[in-house]
Structure formats: structure tokens, C-alpha cells
Amino acid sequence: MSKKVFALALLGSTCIAPVYAQETDEAELTYERVLVTATKRETDLQSTALAISAIGGDDLEVRQLADLESLTAAVPNVTFNRYLGQARLFVRGLGNDTTIPTAEGRVAYHIDGFYISRNSVAMGTFYDVDRVEIIRGPQGTLYGRNATAGAANVITRKPTREFDGYATVQFGNYNLRSADFALGGPLTEDLSGRFAMQMTDRGGYGKNLITGNDIDASSTGSARASLLWEPSATTDFLFTVDHHREQDSNYAAHYNGPQSGESRIPVAMAALYGGSVSPDPRDINSDRDPRNKRETTGATVEATFDLSDNWTLKSLSGYRGSSYAWDTDLDGTQVALAPYGQAEKSDQYSQEFQLHYNSDRLNAVLGAYAFKEDAYGRVYILLQSATAPPSFLTQGYRLAGDVKTTAGAIFGELTYDIDDKWSVIVGGRYSAEEKSVDDDYQIRRDQPYLSPVNGPYLPGIPILSNPGYPRYDEESWDSFTPKLGVTYQANDDVFLFATYSTGFKSGGFSPGVLQPAFDPELVTSFEIGERATLFDDRLTLNATAFYFNYDDMQVSRVTGTVVVIENASSAKVSGLEIESAFRPTDNSKIDFSGAWLNTEFGDFFPGPGNDNMKGNRLPSAPEWQGLVGAEIVQSLSPSIDVTLRGEVEYKSGMYFTPQNTDRLYEEGHTKLNAFLTFDLADPDLRVSLYGRNLTDELSWSIFRSGSVAYGAPVNGVIEAPRTFGISITKQFG
């Protein structure tokens, strides 16, 4: 799809003349206002001065948006990749671009309002979800740390005083089998509960041609239990515990070719050892199967106290423990040239207090936040003792250490209605962080590795420290991030806003790199937007234009065998986002989400001897992105409705490194999706048929060049192939 076609799709979805449907007894697609909590209080999406997309649980189910990766196509200016087993969410071209454990991203990920620092936790799937909110742009006031690009909040379903629940089974190609279950309702006069679980088992999208086993297979289990205690009309406590585990061969690194070209030949070093690569990029030739094992457990308490008609106090106390171990092969051949693995273990604690005030003209929130985390990370790359045979496998590159973080903040934001049309927004946050690193590092090609190559890595083997290690260092930073805004309610249907906001991401350390801490990055953002609901709610049209200016942007690069994080001088980001839905008749809908994005570095020299990156595009930042969907619902009988939906999604090409080299560039692609859903009023059953990526487009979400120590192969992550299946849901209550 060309840019012209994309632009025509934009025009076609937003500039259609209204058509008024006749009254019938047929099934209807009615407009429903969406309530969001992105501002720490409940507001109407159409009168919220943020660039926010909210997708409800019903849409997630019907469109098979089962995780962050599948969700991103439905949200403008959002991309995702899972390189090296980490969830890397990018908003407006900004996200987590490093490859090492303990690193933090630029998009703050939340579950029910609780910040989750570890990227690996976000790899879990959605289950029993009420909605997902994606907020674009820096959220330095209400969300604070690591929200310079935006925030994502997964809001799960809560216990209610009414009995309800559901059971879902799903079957699909690649031997997919999945089951979801949720049940909730009153337990006593003042106590309600809800329990949800999900189990998924899927065969691999590819094979290891050496072992014959599946790769990129998935085997996961999740459970969540919530108790809502309401001891009085003005007080409630919500207790939640959850657990998620994975043990499979997922997130394999796929060989893309040598640096010198995209032909499927092994890198020269592997060829010297007699290595060969798989003919199909989805398959691998490897002396070992990928291994993925991860777990996360969370416990939260949310307490709400209605102090008066105007004042409410909230307390959010949270704990999250997570761990993962992941192994793959980086050279793409059956030769034990570069077996790779990394692991991470984290314990985080957070406490937040919010004091809300609501009156006819003034809405305000004041808060205090505290966060503490101890994260341990480990990386290894086994290396041959020489670049050509004869040689033996050595301990190679090894890195291990702790990164500890202590952070605190005070914040506030208020919205004051000057009159019935004009309002002003004023906010600010003061943040302080302290980080320490205690790590050890080696690069040795003279120490044999004695364990089986395809066996478990033995962390008990002592590290033979390089000069300067083990190392201990610490640093602290603080920042004030203000926000200003003005809104104008032109009439009941049109809302306009303009905001100035800022964001802060703390500095840190590059494990295995003897250099001072890299500096924090700061972002300043200007946005203007409109939210319109027109023609008797038949057309919704939301648009946002924005401009960012980044100072001391943190950028990662591979140097030798280590990943160095350094500060670029600046970066500029601007763009336009449009989301719309048009209902030409009572039983049909056309929807569109699309974005244009312009990004460029300021003066930036990534390491000695490299050219200036000024003017280059940011990595993982496609210029054009969009989705057009069409939907129609029809009654087959008084108790059976059928809904047919089709989608076309497009993403233009993007670079994966600041150097913008053609070798590390992914061409644009178009994908087609289709869904057929039957809703039966009796026995309250839903049957859905689905197909995603129907043309089986092969697309890479990312690929990067490896170290010269093992031949500098290019490997990465391939997005899901064509998938199709059936899901059946039975509702209770």
C-alpha cells in the first residue's frame, strides 16, 4: 500500500456524508460513550485532554487482541517487538531499545493503576480484562517515572454485587488450545469476590531443523483472585493477587543474514566451522532449542475512603516479583558458535497516596509516590576460543549484577472550569531517584565451557573478572515536570484542547561498561487535539497533532561484546494521529485509526569514529501507520445476531538503528484480518471465527546486528504468521 492509498483511506473513513438509517427491528451497532481513568479519575474519553485509545474487553475478545503485540496495530503510532524475550513497546517512535536485563523502557506499563517496571512482565496475555488504555505522549505529572513516551494501563474486571462470569474455549491452527474462565459475585453482605484464570498451549510457528522440535511455541498459565470488602458506604478495600508462568520455546532469535547482505547464507565465521542456516526464516538451524521460563506474582491493596461529598482518599500498595531465564542461539547455525542466554529476577514495592477533590468547577488530585526495586540480571554468550577451527567452546562473555532503585515523588494536577466552555489544567511533579549498580564482567576465550551446550547454564562457575570489576557505583537525580493545558467545549459534541507537558526518565548504568552513569533524559511536548461526536452520534472523529523535543535522549548500541547506553544531544518528534468511527446505518460501521510520524536526531555521534546521526530517523518509528475496519451486524432470528468484520492494517518501513543503514531496515507491509461472530441470546453463547494476517505476510518486528566476536550475524523477531481458529464463550449470570 502506497502513501497515496493510505491517505485516501484516511479521507474515505473520515469525510463520508452522513446517512440516516430507518427504524427497524434488526440488530444495531449503537454508539456507547467510553469512560477512562487515565487522569486518575473517571472521565469521558470524548472530553479528556489526552491522546488516549481505549479498547474494551468485548473488542479484545472478538478481534483476538490477546496481548500487547496484537493490540498495537489497532492504536495509532504504537509498535511492539519482543527481541531477546523482552516486551518492547514503542509510542511515537520512543520505547525500550536496549537488549540487556534490568533496563527500563519509556512507556510506563500498569496493571490496574500499579506500575510494573520489568519489561518481561508485559509479555503476559490479556485475560478477564475490562479495557486497555494506551496514552500517547509524556505523562510526567500523574505517571512520573519512565513515562516519557506514554503509558499503558490494563484494567481488569472487578468483583461486583451481581453474580456473573464466563467460560471460553479456543482452538486454532498451530495446534492452539486455550481456555479462559472467570466467576464473580457476592460472598457475604459486605464482601464480593472474583476469580479468573487462563491456560494456553500452542505449537510452534517454526521448527529447529537440527533437533526436529517446535520453536516459538507457547505454554502459559495465569490466575487472578480479587476480594472487594465494603465495610461501610464510604470505605472499600480491593485485594488482588495474581500469578503468571510460561515454560516453552518462545521468543527464538531468527537468523536474518550476515551484515553484508540479506541472502540466507551463514556468516563467514560460522561457514568456517561448517555451519548452515535454515532455508525458511521461520525455522532455525541450532545446536540447542530455545528455552523460555518465566514467572511473575503480584499482590495489591487498593483502599478508598470517601471523606466527604468532595474529598476522597486513595491508597495503592503493591508488590511484584518476577523472574525469567531465556536461552537461544545467535549465529543461526548448528555450530556452537554463540549460544546466548539471559536471566532476570526482580522484587519491587510501591506505595501511592492520592487525595481527590471534586466540585462543580474544580477537579484536582494530589499525591505522593514511593518505589523500591532490587533487580538482578545475568547475560552470557559462549564463544569459540578462535575465529576458525580448531578451537573449543569457552566461558566467553559473562555479565551479572544487581541494580537497585529507590524513587519518590509528590505530584498534583487540577482542572478548573472558568465557565461552561473554557477550562484550564495545571499540574506538576517533583521526582527524585537513586540507583546503584553492583556488577561483574568477563570476556574470556581461554576458559573452557564444560557443561552440555544444550543443557542448563551453570551460574555457579565463578566469573573471572575483567580489570575494573567487580564494580560498585551509585548516582542520584531529581527533576520537576510541569504540565499546563486549556480546553474548550465548543458544544455538546465538540471538545478542543491544547497542552504543554514534560517527562523525565532517570539515568542509570550500562552493565559491563566502565563509564560514569548516563544522564536522565527530558522531554517537552506540545499537543493540540479535538474530540467530536457528530450527526446524532453517527460519526466520531478524534485528532491530535504533537511536537516533542528530547534532551539527552538515551540511546543504546552494541560495541564489541557489550551494550553501551549513552546520551544523544537531542531528538525531535512530530506527527498527527486520527481515530474515527462512522455508522452509515444502524447495523454497520467503518472505523479508522492512523498516524503520520516524523522523527529525527539532533547532533549525535554514536561512539568514536562514527558519523553524525543528525537528521536520521529514530529506530522503530514508521512514518505511516493505520488500520481501516468495516463491520456489519445482522439478525438471523430474534435470538441470533451475526457480526462480520474485516480489517486492513498497514505499517510503513522503519529503521532499527540510529545509523539508518539499509541493511537494518524493514520494508512496509499490509495485513488482512477477518472475523465472523454469532451471538445467541439463549443460551447466552458467543461463537467467533477469526483469521489474522490472512495473506501470511512475513514481517520482522525488529532485527539487529550481533557482536563481531561471533561474526556479527543479523537476527531478530518475526511477527505471527497467518492464524485462524474458533472461540466459544458461555456467559453466566
**Per-domain residue ranges for the chain?**
3-732
Copy the grid coordinates of residue 604.
Answer: 549525535
* Mean pLDDT of the region 560-567: 79
Are 575 and 544 in contact by the 8 Å Cβ rule? The answer is: no
Segment of 6-10, 230-234, 699-703 carrying the highest mean pLDDT: 230-234
Among candidate residues 37, 149, 62, 124, the one with its CA nearest the CA of residue 618: 149
Percent of the chain clearing pLDDT 90 (strictly above): 67
The rounded distance, in Å, linking the Cα atoms of 28 and 641 is 10
Are 33 and 46 in contact by the 8 Å Cβ rule? The answer is: yes
Model pLDDT for residues 710-727, shown as the tens digit of each residue: 888 999 999 999 999 999
How far is residue 626 from each of residues 18, 38, 493, 597, measured CA to CA in Å?
A: 23, 23, 25, 11
Structure confidence at residue 23 (pLDDT): 36
Within 470-529, residue ranges assigned H as helices are none
- 607 Ramachandran zone, left/alpha/beta (phi>0; psi -120 to 50): left
Residue type (1 letter), 374: D
Q: Residue 4 CB: number of other CB atoms within 10 A?
A: 8
Copy the grid coordinates of residue 313.
Answer: 482518599
Model pLDDT for residues 290-340, shown as the tens digit of each residue: 999 999 999 999 999 999 999 999 999 999 999 999 899 888 899 988 888
The rounded distance, in Å, linking the Cα atoms of 606 and 462 is 33
pTM of the model: 0.91
The rounded distance, in Å, linking the Cα atoms of 407 and 104 is 14
Structure confidence at residue 72 (pLDDT): 86
Are 642 and 636 in contact by the 8 Å Cβ rule? The answer is: yes
pLDDT at 429 over 80: yes
Are 78 and 90 in contact by the 8 Å Cβ rule? The answer is: yes
DSSP output for 148-185 = SSEEEEEEE----SS-EEEEEEEEETTTEEEEEEEEEE
* Mean pLDDT of the region 138-166: 93
Are 626 and 650 in contact by the 8 Å Cβ rule? The answer is: yes
pLDDT at 2 over 60: no
DSSP secondary structure letter of residue 452: -
Are 510 and 474 in contact by the 8 Å Cβ rule? The answer is: no
Structure confidence at residue 605 (pLDDT): 79
The rounded distance, in Å, linking the Cα atoms of 250 and 295 is 14
> 411 or 553: whose pLDDT is higher?
411
**Would you place residue 62 in the very low, low, confident or very high pLDDT band (cuts 50, 70, 90)?**
confident
pLDDT at 28 over 80: no
Copy the grid coordinates of residue 417.
Answer: 472550569
Copy the grid coordinates of residue 584.
Answer: 452509515
Strands 206-207 and 214-215: antiparallel
Q: Which residues contact 11 (CB under 8 A, 6 or more apart)?
A: none
Model pLDDT for residues 641-697, shown as the tens digit of each residue: 999 999 999 999 999 988 899 999 999 999 999 999 999 998 899 999 999 999 999
Are 394 and 448 in contact by the 8 Å Cβ rule? The answer is: yes
How remote is the C-alpha of 268 from its chain's centroid?
A: 36
**Would you place residue 26 in the very low, low, confident or very high pLDDT band (cuts 50, 70, 90)?**
low
pLDDT at 458 over 70: no
pLDDT at 416 over 70: yes
Extended strands (E) in 253-361: 254-258, 291-306, 311-329, 339-358
Instruction: Identify the CATH number of the domain defined by range 3-732.
Output: 2.40.170.20
Structure confidence at residue 70 (pLDDT): 87
Kindly report which listed range (17-21, 172-176, 300-304, 317-321) carries the lowest average pLDDT score: 17-21
The rounded distance, in Å, linking the Cα atoms of 252 and 4 is 36
Structure confidence at residue 18 (pLDDT): 32
Stretch (H or E) spanning 8: helix 3-14
* Mean pLDDT of the region 42-61: 92
* Mean pLDDT of the region 448-454: 66
| Average per-residue pLDDT for the chain | 90
